[in-house]
Amino acid sequence: MAAIPAPKILSVSQVNRLVAGMLEEYFSDIWIMGEVSNFKAYPSGHLYFALKDEESQIQAVCFRDSARKLKWKLEDGLLVIGHGRLEVYVPNGKYQIILDTIEPKGLGALQKAFEQLKKKLEQEGLFRQERKRPLPKLPKVIGIVTSPVGAAIHDMLKTLRLHKAHLKVLLYPVQVQGEGAAEQIAGAIAGLGRREDVEVIIVGRGGGSFEDLWPFNEEIVARAIAASRVPVVTGIGHEVDFTIADFVADIRAATPTAAAQIVAQGWHELEERFREVSSDLLNVMQERLFQEEQKVEELSRHRAFELVSRRISEISHQAEMQRAEMVNSIRSRLSGVTATVNSLTVRLSRQSPVAKIKGWQIQLGSLNSRMERSMTARRSGLSARLEGLAGSLNALSPLSSLARGYSICLKPDGRVVKSLSQVDVGEPVMVRVEDGKLGCEVKEKIKGGGNGK
């Protein structure tokens, strides 16, 4: 039988050192995944905890220098991925893993930090609805915290112009990403808040990666918003991006444009109201005038109006009837009167003085003719007598004396000379004889002598 070499007997220390050497050589650069358990942060800054899975666990350490680089905080129950190396503690033969990098599994480190700060501030009550302040309805001065270059400011100003004026904008230019951005943003919010004229603040930033938006997830910004004198509206990134600042803000708008819209909403509504009211004014007046027309139209068709018009036609019909009746009665009365008048005329004509006069005229005529007849008769009688008388008278007439030879001496004036005294010698006289006259002159006046008779 071959001799069995005597077994090499190692001391405990030797074993542990050998193990340490082997483990530390083979496990000097490994990634490990496990759930944090039994976490302890020491005042020195070192972090001690165990990483475990369903079946096993390993002690882990994160020394101060590595721990300081963590933006988020380790806690029990977190599933993490760590990078590091194994180290064996020779005195007790236990090994542990020294981690220089730890990332939350599933979430990025920033995401984790986000979750943690969110949780912390939520617990403090910073996101509570009661803390949210109403925005001024019609702000006159709006503070804006954003970068002076880029889409955000451009969009906000464009929107404010669109939703109109009445506004003054105070821009507090800040850096919105990178080192120091959070401090600037926090300072700007406080700075604008100190100005008495600023009534509302917009904190805005255009879209970017989660890392780009990071400053808005920092506690200093959240605190500044919470402490702001005036309400803060956030419009950070795009619709899907939520930052811690958004949670603390009095109003979270999806985008910078939306933030500007919300702030100017009151003005916008006022202007809309104005436009509506001014068109209402015209419409209501037109409507009124239309109604007036309708009223007139309706009235003209109204039953009462119809009744009135029927009544009018009735009345006019009645009036017509009455008129006809009256005309008839007048006519009949008139014909009665006419008859009366006629009969009266007849009667009257019978008693008329005309008739009497005629009668009288006839009487007169007959009297006249009777008178004439008797007159004629008398005249012819008288005439016969007159002729008889004339014959006898003739015998007595001086003219017949003349015929018998007598003459008559007449003065020029026609007086018959009957006495001497009537004439003077030399005076012309006319001597009338039967067949003419003799012009004579008194030659002498001889008294006495007469003619013997």
**Smallest gap, in angstroms, from Cβ of residue 301 to other proteins?**
20
Interaction between residue 148 and other proteins (CB under 8 A): yes
Q: Of 71-130, which residues contact other proteins (CB under 8 A)?
A: none
Q: How far is the CB of 154 from other proteins (least distance, A)?
A: 6
C-beta separation of 205 from 156 below 8 A: no
Residue 225 tokens, joined: 């918003």
Residue spans of alpha helices (H) in 195-249: 219-227, 244-248
* CB of residue 275 to other proteins, shortest distance in Å: 9
Residue placing its CB nearer to other proteins in the complex, 287 or 427: 287
Site string for other proteins, 228-267 (x = CB under 8 A): ----------------------------------------
CA dihedral 266→267→271→277, nearest 10 degrees, is: 40
Task: Pick the binder of other proteins from 292, 293, 387, 427 (CB under 8 A).
Answer: 292
DSSP code at position 382? H
CB of 147 to other proteins, least distance (A): 11
**Shortest reach from residue 187's CB to other proteins, in Å:** 9
Binds other proteins (CB under 8 A): choice among 49, 114, 127, 172 = 172
Candidates 253, 177, 255; CA nearest to 215 is 177
Token pair 């358990």 is found at 37
168 touches other proteins (CB under 8 A): yes
Burial code (b: 16+ CB inside 10 Å, e: under 16) for 274-291 equals eeeeeeeeeeeeeeeeee
Q: Is 299 in the site for other proteins (CB under 8 A)?
A: no
Contacts of 19 (CB under 8 A, 6+ apart): 88, 93, 95
Measure the CA angle with vertex 174, ends 220 and 209; round to 5°. Answer: 75
Per-residue binding string, other proteins, 270-289, x by CB under 8 A, is xx-xx--xx-xx--xx--x-
Q: Which region, judged by CB under 8 A, interacts with other proteins, from 57-65, 161-169, 360-368, 443-451?
A: 161-169
User: Which span (7-15, 119-127, 168-176, 210-218) binds other proteins, by CB under 8 A?
Assistant: 168-176
With contact defined as beta carbons under 8 Å apart, do 197 and 143 qualify?
A: no
- For residue 204, the minimal CB distance to other proteins (Å) is 14
Tokens of 446: 């001889």
Is 151 a binder of other proteins (CB under 8 A)? no
The smaller minimum CB distance to other proteins, of residues 169 and 409, is found at: 169
164 belongs to the binding site for other proteins (CB under 8 A): yes
From 60, 117, 121, 153, residue interacting with other proteins (rule: CB under 8 A): 153
Collapsing DSSP to helix, strand or coil, 98 comes out as strand
Number of helices (H), then strands (E), belonging to the chain: the values are 11, 13
Which of residues 275 and 415 has its CB atom nearest to other proteins in the complex?
275
Spell out a b/e string for 39-66, using b for 16 or more CB atoms within 10 Å of the CB, else e. beeeeeeebebbbbeeeeeebbbbbeeb
Q: How many residues does the chain have?
A: 453
Which amino acid belongs to residue 5? P
Q: How far is CA 33 from CA 82, 84, 98, 99, 111, in A?
A: 6, 11, 13, 11, 18
Q: Nearest approach, Cβ of 274 to other proteins (angstroms)?
A: 5
**14 Cβ neighbours under 8 A, 6+ residues apart:** none
Facing residues of 173 across strands?
Answer: 146
Contacts (CB under 8 A) with other proteins, residues 371-390: none
Q: CB of residue 273 vs other proteins: minimum separation in angstroms?
A: 6
Measured distance CA(226)–CA(74) in Å, rounded: 26
Does 290 interact with other proteins (rule: CB under 8 A)?
no
Q: Answer yes or no whether residue 135 interacts with other proteins by CB under 8 A.
A: no
Partner residues linked to 433 by β-bridges: 436
Site string for other proteins, 186-205 (x = CB under 8 A): -----xx-x-----------
Question: Cβ of residue 158: shortest distance to other proteins, in angstroms?
Answer: 9
User: Judged by CB under 8 A, does residue 393 bind other proteins?
Assistant: no
Question: Which of 64, 131, 154, 331 touches other proteins (CB under 8 A)?
Answer: 154
Q: Is residue 173 near other proteins by the rule CB under 8 A?
A: yes
CB neighbours of 431 closer than 8 A, spacing ≥ 6?
A: 407, 408, 409, 410, 437, 438, 439, 440
- Residue given tokens 């991925």 in the structure block: 81
From the list 68-76, 170-178, 297-305, 355-363, the region that binds other proteins by CB under 8 A is: 170-178
Cβ proximity to other proteins: between 78 and 198 the closer is: 198
Q: Which lies closer to other proteins via its Cβ, residue 281 or residue 440? A: 281
Nearer to other proteins, 20 or 169 (CB): 169
- For residue 211, the SS3 value is coil
Interacting residues with other proteins (CB under 8 A): 138, 148-149, 153-154, 157, 160-161, 164-173, 191-192, 194, 270-271, 273-274, 277-278, 280-281, 284-285, 288, 291-292
